[in-house]
Chain A
Amino acid sequence: MIAELLLNGIALGCVYSLIALGFVLIFKATGIVNFAQGDIMMLGSFFGLTTIGLWGMPYLLGFVCAVLATAVCGYLFNRLLLQHVVGRPEFQIIMVTIGLGYILRTIAGVVPGWGSLPQRFATPFDGKVDVVFGMPVSQERLVIVLVTAGLMVLLFLFFRFTRVGIAMQAASQNKTAATLVGISVPGVNSLVWALGAGMAGVAGILIAPITFVYPGVGYVGLLAFPAAVLGGFGSLPGAFVGGIVIGLLEVFSGFYLSEWVRNAAPYMALLAVLFIRPSGLFGVRLQKKV
């Protein structure tokens, strides 16, 4: 029983991690706290519904197309909207992201084939169970964990070894210096938005069989917020671990305490972290030597 709860918690946590990672990436690069991150995840769910469910693409192809579509949306959000408010007071920028999320939910409600009623699309893993170490394990959950792990590795390699990945870090560490070596900071930031949105898109497609697809599903994505704070806002490994912790916390508190606690637990953890250790689990700052 505990093993099953553990897997459920980790799988849910993986989804939160993906959303939180995208969220932290965007925050680190642009300084924007993106409250639309959950709604971008919702877009991913709907794109998956469209490519796999409505158009009947093979799962893998539909998956990739939906993620790309979500990434393109992220790119455009920065290009058309957020790039133009960078430098304004934080409050205004936050309102822009909240407004963007609201608009996305509204649009999702009226697009033909989408709508406000929960829907689902078939996956190759529906109801299938694998046996791992002698325990029955739902394939759906297993795929979530494996895909997330794979993405983490790819992400690490991307930031460590590719020119664009290093340029993204450079631009987030010092905009002036990045500009002067020839990096177009707004351009790179749009790519970061694409990446962050793409990750939320992956989360949206993976979680669709569990939560179903409807405009409000993005509220699940808001849990990326406590996950990111828990990990020490701005730390990528922290966001990952924070997501897993939140997932486990939800599943275990839901089972051993009550459904009410389940929904509030992540936010109670958020408050606890802010009071006890505001820098989070991984909030280490590199001191600048003079």
Chain B
Amino acid sequence: MSGGRLLVDGLTAGYGRSSVLNDVSLELDRGQVIALLGANGAGKTTLLRCISGLIRPTRGSVSLEGASIVGCAPHTLIRRGIAHVPEGRQPFPHLSVRENLLMGAYSLPAGKAATQVLDLVYHYFPILKERTRQLAGLLSGGEQQMLVIARALMGRPQILLLDEPSLGLSPKLVGTVFSIIRRINEEQQISVLLVEQNANAALQVATHGYLLEHGRASRKFDAAELLASDEVRKSYLGHG
């Protein structure tokens, strides 16, 4: 796995007549972790949904390694190396943990490949190995969050799109989840685009960041720059 390069250029999208994203551009380079910060309703989720093909932008382009991926059927994106972990923890509740994970490898050729990745994923999420036969719907919130990230990894992606992985988790669990994300990025060279309201946690992991406000994206900042900026501290870090 070697992280891919994702380029979003002039993206405009919305539902019906109201546009949620306005001319948004961003780039995710190989091996980077980018935090996309913004308030509720700023368009963060819509942006991820555009990238993974779940909704079609009205204008603009999304390209992976220089090839446009706009208009691709969403179920083919994982084969190109993009895994999207949607917001709100969405496991297959009536399948076991193991079955959830094996479904994550649905895009890989059947057989040995899947069990190899399974071992790798269990290495990062040992708790899932303990729960392997349990129904996913009966896991705790934190375990479900780990399960859906792990399931996304099963498809051997180059790019991981994470939508609010910290939502509803205790601060301690947020720390656990984010440190696993960092290890995955460093050890597996998977690029990560992280959408978060919890800027504090996100900027601990991110190398770079964008601010998204009212459907418009800022320029690309270094994570340290954002952590130091007064505006970010006031709006997103909860202390002035």
Chain A contact residues, CB within 8 Å of chain B: 163, 166-167, 169-170, 173-174, 176-185, 286-290
Task: Beyond the given A167-B103, A180-B85, please list 11 additional residue pairs across the A-B interface where CB-CB is below 8 A.
Answer: A163-B106, A166-B103, A167-B106, A170-B103, A177-B90, A177-B91, A180-B54, A180-B152, A182-B78, A185-B75, A289-B144
The reply on B10 being an interface residue by CB < 8 A is no
Q: Which chain B residues (55-76) contact chain A, with CB distance < 8 Å?
A: 73-76
Are A183 and B141 also in contact (CB < 8 A) when A169-B92, A174-B90, A177-B92 are?
no
Query: Are B74 and A180 in contact (CB-based, < 8 A)?
Result: yes
Contact (Cβ within 8 A) A180 B141 = no
Q: Which of A163, A173, A177, A183 contacts B94 (CB 8 A)?
A: A173
Chain A residues in 8 Å Cβ range of B102: 163, 166
A181 to B102, CA, bound (A): 10
- CB-defined contacts of B104 to chain A, threshold 8 Å: 181
CA–CA, A173 and B93, complex, Å: 7
Most buried by B among A180, A182, A183, A184: A180
**B107 interface contact, C-beta 8 A:** yes
A181 is contacted by which of B73, B78, B141, B144 (Cβ under 8 Å)?
B78
B190 close to A (CB within 8 Å) = no
Query: Shortest 8 CB-CB distances between A and B: which pairs?
Result: A182-B107, A182-B78, A177-B90, A173-B92, A170-B92, A182-B106, A184-B75, A179-B75
| Assembly CA distance A75 to B91 (angstroms) | 28
The answer to whether A169 and B95 touch (CB under 8 A), given A174-B90, A182-B75, A182-B76, is yes
Q: How far is the CA of A278 from the CA of B86 in the complex (A)?
A: 33
Q: Is the CB of A166 within 8 A of B95?
A: yes
A174 proximity list for chain B (CB < 8 A): 90-93
**B-chain residues with CB within 8 Å of residue A179 when the two chains form the complex:** 54, 74-75
Contacts of A177 in B (CB 8 A): 86, 90-92, 148, 151
What is the minimal beta-carbon distance from B102 to any residue of chain A, in angstroms?
Answer: 7
B103:A181 contact, CB within 8 angstroms: yes
Given contacts A166-B102, A176-B86, A181 and B95 within 8 Å (CB-CB) = no
For chains A and B in complex, what number of residue pairs have CB atoms within 8 angstroms? 89
Query: When the two chains form the complex, which single residue of A181, A185, A286, A289 contacts B107, counting CB atoms closer than 8 Å?
Result: A181
Q: Is the CB of B75 within 8 A of A286?
A: no
A181 to B86, CA, bound (A): 11
Interface string of B208-235 (1 = CB under 8 A from A): 0000000000000000000000000000
Minimum C-beta distance from A186 to chain B (A): 9
Question: Does B12 touch A at the CB level, under 8 Å?
Answer: no
Q: Is B137 an interface residue (CB 8 A)?
A: yes
Give bound CA distance, A288 to B89, whole Å: 11
In angstroms, Cα B96 to Cα A173, docked, is 12
Residue-wise interface mask of B (79-119) relative to A, using a CB-CB cutoff of 8 A (1 in contact, 0 not)? 10001111000111111000110111111001000000000
Complex alpha-carbon distance, A176 and B92, angstroms:
10
Whether the pair B103, A180 counts as a contact (CB closer than 8 A) is: no
* Chain A residues closer than 8 Å to B86, beta-carbon distance: 176-177, 180
The chain A residue with its CB closest to the CB of B144 is A289
Residues of B within 8 A of A287 (CB): 137
B140 beta carbon closer than 8 Å to chain A: yes
Q: Are A181 and B155 in contact (CB under 8 A)?
A: yes
Residues of chain A lying within 8 A (CB to CB) of residue B151 = 177, 181
**19 A-B contacts (beta carbon < 8 Å):** A163-B110, A166-B95, A166-B102, A169-B92, A169-B94, A176-B54, A177-B90, A177-B148, A180-B83, A182-B155, A183-B75, A183-B103, A286-B94, A286-B137, A288-B137, A289-B137, A289-B138, A289-B139, A289-B140
* CB–CB B106/A181 < 8 A: yes
